[in-house]
Amino acid sequence: MQHPRSIPLVRRLRQTLLAALCIAGAGVHAAWPDDQPIRIIVPQAAGGTNDIVARLVGAELARALKQSVVVENRPGASGAIGMQQAAQARPDGYTLGLASDSTAMLDAFRPTLPWKFRRDLMGLAMVGDQPISLAVPAASPLKSLADVVAQARRQPAKLAYGTSGIGTSQHVVGEWWSKLAGIDLVHIPYKGGGQASTDLVANQVPVAVLGLAPMLAQHRNGKVRVLAVTSPQRNAALPDVPTFTEAGFPQIAITQWSGLVAPSGLPEPIARRLSEEISRIVQMPEIQAKLGESGITPSTLRGAAFDKFLKDTVAQWERLIPTLNINLVD
């Protein structure tokens, strides 16, 4: 039985605890006032895979937070323009960025930028990933990576491959693979994967190194032939297509990924709420179905685990990219 004198003390402790909980909860919700929208900056043009991902997540995030969410496309400089806006924004929960494998390469490609990915951005949650594919037109005599290597050796510096642009992960994979295979390919950068895949179908470019998403339908329709994918395991959508590892290049076991980031210094309660909501959204069956239509495998990586993944990935590219023959030209 409580001593009578202890009752006021217990009551005051309860009141203090309830007040603290109310303040903490109010602090999270107060971060997004009704009159100011949350921005998701996509450092690529509208219509691409990253733009689609941002709009899918943004629409559900708006419902979850009961707050307006707008997607802003800020393409240019291989993603550096948009990511700089995200990195240098106030860490208040109003500005997020859609990061990807290619933007994680910016520290290595552009060491003089006034911001650094590892220093100025923090990971919230990955949305999903997809392998990079190497494909040829359906009528091509090339049936395997070994065939491509043999052709390139017969005609040094003649065989071309298309990608969605200079400084993308596809470009890095193309040059990385060329170095490992001891061949000299000609890189043809396009302004997006759609243009590259269109030219591949039309046999205007003999090889393309692109994300699997734009290749899936073309492969299934018999217009192109995917020879290999870069994921560590075979992709469920193309179980008969080998990986680069199986084809003799185990070093190339990577994927294209996308996820939400925020300026470093975002208060922990806001970061946690965003991470939890984005992860919950990614696990929604309807969102998973829409991601799957684009060849994207949903991810459960979030919070500190995603942030560590980002920093490790940036460090990996900082080691690899200087060893490759890649020069950025804007």
Element containing residue 57 per DSSP (H, E): helix 49-65
Residue 203: is its pLDDT beyond 80? Answer: yes
Fold of 31-130+257-323: D-Maltodextrin-Binding Protein; domain 2 (3.40.190)
Quick check: 54 and 42 in contact, CB under 8 A?
yes
Would you state the pLDDT for residue 27?
45
Report the range of poorest mean pLDDT among 2-16, 46-60, 115-129, 137-151.
Answer: 2-16
pLDDT band at 42 (very low <50, low <70, confident <90, very high): very high
Residue 241: is its pLDDT beyond 50? Answer: yes
Domain boundaries, the chain: 31-130+257-323, 132-229
Would you state the pLDDT for residue 192?
78
Relative orientation angle of helices 303-320 and 268-282, to the nearest 10 degrees = 90
Three-state DSSP class for residue 315: helix
Would you state the pLDDT for residue 213?
81
Fold of 132-229: D-Maltodextrin-Binding Protein; domain 2 (3.40.190)
Domains 31-130+257-323 and 132-229 share a fold: yes
Report the range of poorest mean pLDDT among 80-94, 220-234, 265-279, 288-302.
Answer: 288-302
Residue 51: is its pLDDT beyond 60? Answer: yes
Give the Å distances, CA to CA, from 279 to 9, 68, 171, 268.
41, 19, 30, 16
pLDDT band at 329 (very low <50, low <70, confident <90, very high): low
